[in-house]
């Protein structure tokens, strides 16, 4: 095997060191962030309440006096909306304002609305703890560097 040698001097050496340093820092910040159990619980409650809200809106204004079975049917549907399982939580970005990727199942199946994966922006404060920000796009999650 032949050996290849090269030397960098002057501004080329400085540029090479800067490029290596930038790549090292970039890879450090691209790592996934882990959420503590309190942050994960906030996500679970948020997603479950979102499905309960959808189920409640569907039955709003229904007259249950005509059909008692309808009341049981609506109660079952609303409670099944609360049977939301979060199967995966991944976060990117800093510890204070990560963007979170959440995979969910409703009653052990993918959600009927087709949104089995959702992305949320969260915030952490030492005073208030974890709070949900807003729902964001998948692009925001994958583009989150810092």
Using one digit for the tens of pLDDT, what is the confidence trace for 43-85?
988 888 887 777 777 777 777 777 778 877 877 777 766 678 8
Domain parsing of the chain, residue ranges: 35-52+83-143
Among all chains, which residue has been given the structure tokens 């199946």?
109
What confidence tens digit (pLDDT) does each residue in 20-42 have?
Answer: 888 767 766 666 677 888 988 89
Rounded to 10°, the helix 68-81/37-58 angle is: 150
What's the whole-model pTM score? Answer: 0.65
Architecture in CATH for domain 35-52+83-143: Roll (3.10)
Asked if residue 120 lies in contact with residue 100, where contact means CB atoms within 8 angstroms, the answer is yes
Asked if residue 89 lies in contact with residue 132, where contact means CB atoms within 8 angstroms, the answer is no
């Amino acid at each position: 095997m032949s050996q290849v040698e090269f030397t960098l001097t002057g501004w080329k050496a400085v540029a090479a060191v800067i490029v290596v340093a930038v790549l090292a820092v970039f890879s450090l910040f691209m790592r996934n962030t882990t959420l503590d159990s309190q942050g994960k619980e906030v996500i679970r409650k948020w997603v479950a309440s979102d499905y309960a809200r959808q189920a409640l809106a569907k039955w709003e204004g229904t007259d249950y006096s005509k059909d008692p079975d309808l009341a049981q049917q609506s109660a079952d549907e609303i409670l099944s909306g609360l049977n939301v399982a979060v199967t995966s939580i991944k976060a990117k970005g800093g510890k204070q304002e990560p963007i979170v990727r959440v995979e969910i199942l409703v009653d052990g199946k993918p959600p009927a609305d087709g949104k089995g994966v959702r992305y949320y922006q969260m915030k952490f404060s030492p005073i208030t703890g974890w709070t949900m920000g807003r729902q964001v796009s998948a692009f925001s999650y994958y583009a989150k560097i810092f």
